[in-house]
């Protein structure tokens, strides 16, 4: 399923939001557009989520509204009461969806609720009478309609990130990371007062579930130019606080920066589309291979340890380990690079050779001709053999040569595969002839 993001103004034209205003009015419920939704509306950012707040009975309201438009409702929290309505719209080629979250005030009033939010730019609200009035307000940019107790409107205008109070940091220390995540995503500056609070309370992160810290950190790595923001995390001591085993030599940071500036080197230009598709493949926790190549630069010799600490999947930890071991193997064979050595390298790192090559290119100084030679060997020699598949199987050997299951069959199959990749065998007939000769030699 392909998920399509829309600008907020596009979503306001959706019939579900048109229906929401009428539904709330009939039930006598006053709705507020809040938080990140007001921010995204003002910034005209793509989104798939819309946040609403109301004084009471948020779950009851959400369930009733979902039923009225035949949408799905999921209860997210009981306290504060929060429910999500998921709206889907399909056509022949794509399924687009967005969600509406309805949350009950976390305090006695809307103003107090806003003061409890993570950042001033997320602590604004607008009365939602209907989609048309919100659209009109957003076009006019009339600050009169914005409920803004923390000065978020001005911070949004100047590109500044602040905490509404020290209290919000103490109540949820993951916000120490989140402010850097928003700095990366929005390219905003962090106020000196906020940085001071980060330094003061950074040790509180140890009380936060690692999964929450990991998710904020991964969102920073996902930004196209994460390097300067990760450097800031390092400067204030947050990076080590989240991942104590992470390393920080200048060479590692330089490689990370080089990779972000040119993830696919010029020598691989002929295969740019294939490498780009590879980088965009999701590997885990809603992140693609590009993210974990970046993370691997800072893992040193401990990629599995870092992966385990961050609660990443074993597959992700193995991927980062392959990048590091593969780049070392490639560096070792570069002084005397033969076709056989390239083929052996590609076979060893078959599923991750693209990542290894990109990682190594940022880590070492590799001539573009070498990068091109490795890629050419894969696409012109290895890939056709992979697509052809095995020429013979164990069942073929048992049936044709009356062999018994065991080590001999495995050895014979490996020998045939080695010769196939070496270009010595190309057909089933040649494979059977080679097996017959090998058996004669062994008897």
Whether residues 412 and 291 share a domain: the answer is: no
Instruction: Write out pLDDT tens, residues 33-45.
Output: 999 989 988 888 8
Kindly state whether residue 261 falls inside one of the protein's structural domains: yes
User: What pLDDT shows up at residue 246?
Assistant: 83
Domain housing 20? 1-153
Domain stops at, among 225, 242, 259: 242
- The pTM is what? 0.87
User: What pLDDT shows up at residue 298?
Assistant: 93
Kindly state whether residue 272 falls inside one of the protein's structural domains: yes
Whether residues 143 and 263 share a domain: the answer is: no
Whether residues 358 and 404 share a domain: the answer is: no
Whether residues 282 and 198 share a domain: the answer is: no
Whether residues 225 and 332 share a domain: the answer is: no
User: What pLDDT shows up at residue 176?
Assistant: 98
Whether residues 333 and 363 share a domain: the answer is: yes
Whether residues 228 and 328 share a domain: the answer is: no
Distance CA 98, CA 94 (A): 13
Whether residues 139 and 5 share a domain: the answer is: yes
Whether residues 177 and 148 share a domain: the answer is: no
Instruction: Write out pLDDT tens, residues 271-289.
Output: 999 999 999 999 877 799 9
Kindly state whether residue 254 falls inside one of the protein's structural domains: yes
Whether residues 13 and 106 share a domain: the answer is: yes
Low-confidence ranges of the chain (pLDDT < 70): 1-9, 89-96, 131, 135-144
Domain stops at, among 366, 384, 402: 384
User: What pLDDT shows up at residue 136?
Assistant: 67
Domain stops at, among 242, 274, 298: 242
Kindly state whether residue 389 falls inside one of the protein's structural domains: no
The total number of structural domains in the chain stands at 4
CATH number at residue 185: 1.10.110.30
Whether residues 7 and 140 share a domain: the answer is: yes
Whether residues 103 and 168 share a domain: the answer is: no
Kindly state whether residue 268 falls inside one of the protein's structural domains: yes
């Amino acid at each position: 399923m392909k998920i399509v993001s829309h600008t907020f103004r596009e979503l306001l034209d959706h019939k579900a939001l048109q229906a929401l205003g009428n539904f709330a009015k009939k039930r006598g419920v006053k709705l507020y557009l809040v938080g990140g939704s007001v921010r995204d509306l003002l910034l005209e950012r793509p989104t798939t989520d819309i946040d609403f707040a109301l004084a009471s009975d948020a779950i009851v309201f959400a369930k009733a509204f979902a039923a009225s438009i035949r949408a799905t409702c999921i209860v997210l929290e009981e306290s504060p009461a929060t429910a999500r309505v998921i709206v889907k719209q399909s056509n022949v080629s794509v399924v687009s969806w967005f969600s509406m979250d309805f949350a009950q005030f976390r305090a006695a009033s809307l103003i107090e609720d806003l003061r409890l939010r993570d950042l001033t730019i997320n602590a604004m609200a607008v009365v939602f009478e209907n989609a048309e009035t919100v659209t009109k307000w957003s076009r006019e940019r009339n600050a009169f309609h914005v409920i803004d107790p923390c000065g978020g409107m001005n911070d949004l205008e100047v590109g500044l990130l602040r905490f509404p109070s020290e209290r919000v940091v103490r109540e949820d220390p993951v916000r120490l990371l989140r402010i850097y995540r928003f700095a990366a995503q929005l390219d905003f500056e962090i106020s000196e007062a906020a940085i001071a609070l980060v330094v003061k309370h950074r040790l509180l992160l140890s009380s936060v579930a690692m999964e929450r810290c990991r998710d904020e950190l991964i969102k920073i790595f996902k930004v196209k130019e994460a390097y300067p923001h990760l450097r800031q995390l390092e400067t204030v001591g947050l990076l080590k606080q989240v991942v104590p085993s992470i390393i920080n030599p200048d060479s590692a940071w330089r490689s990370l920066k080089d990779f972000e500036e040119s993830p696919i080197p010029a020598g691989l230009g002929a295969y740019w589309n294939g490498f780009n598709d590879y980088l965009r493949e999701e590997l885990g926790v809603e992140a693609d291979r590009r993210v974990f190549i970046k993370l691997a630069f800072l893992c040193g010799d401990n990629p599995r340890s870092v992966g385990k600490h961050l609660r990443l999947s074993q597959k992700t930890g193995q991927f980062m380990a392959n990048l590091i071991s593969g780049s070392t193997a490639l560096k070792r064979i570069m002084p005397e690079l033969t076709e056989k050595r390239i083929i052996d390298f590609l076979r060893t790192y078959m599923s991750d050779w693209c990542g290894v090559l990109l990682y190594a290119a940022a880590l070492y100084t590799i001539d573009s001709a070498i990068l091109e030679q490795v890629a050419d060997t894969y696409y012109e020699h290895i890939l056709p053999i992979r697509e052809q598949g095995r020429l013979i199987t164990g069942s073929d050997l048992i049936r044709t040569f009356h062999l018994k299951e065991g080590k001999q069959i495995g050895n014979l199959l490996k020998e045939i595969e080695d010769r196939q990749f070496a270009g010595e065998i190309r057909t089933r007939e040649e494979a059977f002839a080679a097996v017959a000769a090998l058996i004669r030699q062994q008897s």
